[in-house]
């Protein structure tokens, strides 16, 4: 839509803000809608709620199609074939680094979200604050997101992304080793974790920069395929994280958690109580590991591809975009003659 780096950062930040605001709204109202529509029948409630959300979303898609205008004209000769596009993506080292970062970021973030509720239910063991804890990072992320474009312009997208991954990774690892049942501790750590959303526009911004740099060097633009890969990376990260973390929880015996708790409440023999407590503690360890330690490690591993991303040098992308403008003007002048 634009070659202006400031506009690119603002657009990506606005997209991320929309995502976090949407997640907050869903967390606040979906279960209430399910109860209201279902009248005690959860399946019917979810069905009606899904229909309502689809009816709300459809006009939004139409509005985007009608109001959003592409201002960057890409000629077919600059796109190449699908096979060439795949080869070019593999050749574009900075694009591959940005895609790997996006994959690891989504893997850690959405994987954590998928199992966090089990952590609050069985490790924190406080149902009162579950909704608040689940939304806290999104609320903090929505608050800090408006300043993200300025930080990216001043310190570079890659550097902000590295700081973000450090914040999120270390905060989750600290939660794993910290006092799980402490409400103030979890509250503070979720606020810190939410500060990691500061890198909201970085991933998409780095992808755009990699596409522009490759276009200037080799004369090919594969925007569509690059962002298709980005979307696929998000979906792969989500699917893998959800399945892997839940499978690990299952290996620790989560399926028996409620039965064990019921048996513990009824137990009177000290040896039996000790045995049941040990089993529950083992399962809690698995939940804590999947909700905090493993996502934290994934975030830290996501820093590795960022270290090989080389387009964040001050002024470099300005020269690239000026070069693209001059090249395109020269082409238009040549075509006019």
| Residue whose C-alpha is closest to residue 162's, from 255, 301, 18 | 301
Q: How confident is the model at residue 7 (pLDDT cuts 50, 70, 90)?
A: low
pLDDT at 187 over 60: yes
pLDDT at 99 over 60: yes
* Residue written as token pair 């929309």: 18
pLDDT at 213 over 70: yes
* Residue written as token pair 């820093």: 303
pLDDT at 80 over 60: no
Q: What is the largest CA-CA distance in the chain?
A: 95
DSSP letter string over 318-336? HHHHHHHHHHHHHHHHHHH
| Residue whose C-alpha is closest to residue 196's, from 298, 310, 308 | 298
CB 308 within 8 A of CB 97: yes
Give the whole-angstrom CA distance, residue 164 versus residue 147. 14
Q: How confident is the model at residue 158 (pLDDT cuts 50, 70, 90)?
A: very high
Give the whole-angstrom CA distance, residue 280 versus residue 274. 10
Give the whole-angstrom CA distance, residue 304 versus residue 169. 13
| CA neighbours closer than 13 Å in the CB half-sphere of residue 123 | 25
| Per-residue pLDDT, 119 | 92
Backbone conformation region of residue 297, classed left if phi is above 0, alpha if psi is from -120 to 50, else beta: alpha
pLDDT tens digits, one per residue of 125-141: 887 888 788 888 888 88
Q: Degrees (nearest 5) of the Cα angle 330, 85, 91?
A: 90
Any idea which architecture 74-336 has in CATH?
Answer: Up-down Bundle (1.20)
Distances (CA, A) of 47 to 11, 30, 34, 44, 234: 33, 11, 8, 5, 26
pLDDT at 311 over 80: yes
Distances (CA, A) of 97 to 64, 92, 302, 304: 29, 9, 10, 9
% of the chain residues with pLDDT over 70: 91
Q: How confident is the model at residue 77 (pLDDT cuts 50, 70, 90)?
A: low
CB 55 within 8 A of CB 45: no
| Per-residue pLDDT, 142 | 85
- Please state whether the predicted TM-score (pTM) of the whole model is above 0.75: yes
CB 192 within 8 A of CB 167: yes
The whole-angstrom distance between residue 30's C-alpha and the CA centroid of its chain comes to 21
CB 170 within 8 A of CB 296: yes
The distance in angstroms from the start CA to the end CA of the chain is 28
| Per-residue pLDDT, 304 | 96
pLDDT tens digits, one per residue of 244-255: 888 999 899 988
Mean pLDDT lowest for which of 12-16, 227-231, 248-252?
A: 12-16
Mean pLDDT lowest for which of 228-232, 307-311, 316-320?
A: 228-232
Q: Which residues contact 2 (CB under 8 A, 6 or more apart)?
A: 8, 11, 71, 72
Q: How confident is the model at residue 86 (pLDDT cuts 50, 70, 90)?
A: confident
């Amino acid at each position: 839509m634009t070659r202006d780096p400031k506009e690119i950062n603002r657009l990506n930040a606005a997209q991320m803000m929309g995502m976090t605001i949407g997640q907050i709204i869903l967390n606040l109202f979906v279960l209430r809608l399910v109860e209201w529509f279902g009248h005690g029948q959860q399946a019917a409630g979810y069905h009606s709620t899904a229909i309502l959300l689809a009816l709300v979303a459809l006009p939004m898609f139409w509005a985007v199609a009608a109001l959003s205008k592409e201002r960057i004209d890409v000629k077919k000769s600059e796109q190449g074939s699908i096979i060439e596009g795949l080869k070019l993506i593999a050749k574009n080292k900075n694009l591959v680094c940005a895609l790997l970062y996006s994959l690891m970021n989504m893997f850690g973030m959405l994987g954590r979200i998928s199992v966090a509720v089990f952590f609050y239910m069985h490790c924190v063991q406080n149902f009162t604050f579950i909704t608040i804890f689940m939304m806290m990072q999104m609320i903090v992320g929505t608050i800090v997101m408006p300043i993200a474009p300025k930080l990216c312009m001043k310190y570079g997208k890659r550097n902000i992304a590295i700081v973000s991954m450090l914040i999120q990774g270390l905060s989750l690892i600290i939660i794993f080793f910290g006092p799980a049942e402490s409400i103030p501790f979890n509250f503070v750590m979720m606020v810190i974790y939410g500060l990691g959303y500061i890198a909201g526009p970085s991933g998409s911004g780095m992808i755009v920069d990699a596409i522009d740099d490759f276009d200037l060097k080799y004369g090919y633009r594969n925007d569509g395929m690059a962002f298709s890969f980005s979307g696929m990376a998000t979906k792969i990260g989500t699917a893998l994280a959800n399945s892997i973390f839940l499978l690990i929880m299952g290996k620790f015996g989560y399926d028996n958690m409620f039965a064990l708790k019921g048996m513990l409440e009824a137990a009177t023999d000290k040896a039996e109580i000790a045995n049941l407590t040990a089993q529950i503690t083992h399962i809690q360890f698995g939940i804590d590991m999947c909700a905090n330690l493993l996502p934290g490690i994934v975030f830290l591993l996501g820093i590795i591809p960022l270290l090989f991303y080389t387009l964040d040098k001050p002024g470099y992308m300005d020269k690239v975009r000026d070069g693209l403008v001059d090249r395109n003007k020269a082409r238009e002048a040549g075509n006019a003659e």
